[in-house]
Amino acid sequence: MGEQRATTFPQEIIDQWAGLGLDLGALFSAGHLGTRMSVQVLEAAPDRVVGTMPVEGNTQPYGLLHGGASAVLAETLGSVGAMLHGGPTKLAVGVDLNCTHHRGARSGLVTGVATPVHRGRSSATYEIAITDEDGKRVCSARLTCMLRDVDASVYHRG
């Protein structure tokens, strides 16, 4: 559904991760599940992550955006923010996700914007606002990730 856009990263993130020889767009993407749901991460920085997802193909039986689809978008965006906050020596693992669904969406794209509520050494919490094409809030979510120490070689595993 539509063309894939490359994720935009601030220069300091590109510089921080440059020595690892990784494709940042692939590393900080929505993964296999997100690909099936056509989630696109458009902007990624520790202080703001933006992504979109089509309603079409991600609906429940009544034709409305599935709440679980909103949760996938929210967890994807919050996790990317937490990973970027932690840097190459940390791995972000989601430990709590909650979503409040405010209104239904039947078509178009929804956009999620994740912003930090807390960024510490061992955890990061992001609020994710998901809106429809008219700018109306569809879902409010909050994700907390545990930040675990990791050797950067973990990123080279298949």
- The answer to whether 56 is a known catalytic residue is no
**Annotated catalytic residue, options 43, 56, 75, 133:** 75
Residues of the chain with pLDDT under 70: 1-4, 152-153, 155-158
What strand order describes the sheet that includes 137-149?
40-45, 48-54, 109-119, 123-131, 137-149, 90-101
Which pLDDT score, from 0 to 100, does residue 4 have?
65
Which pLDDT score, from 0 to 100, does residue 1 have?
43
pLDDT tens digits along 75-115: 999 999 999 999 999 999 999 999 999 999 999 999 999 99
- Domains within the chain, CATH numbers bracketed: 11-155 (3.10.129.10)
Give φ, ψ of 96 to 5 degrees: -155, 130
pTM passes above 0.85: yes
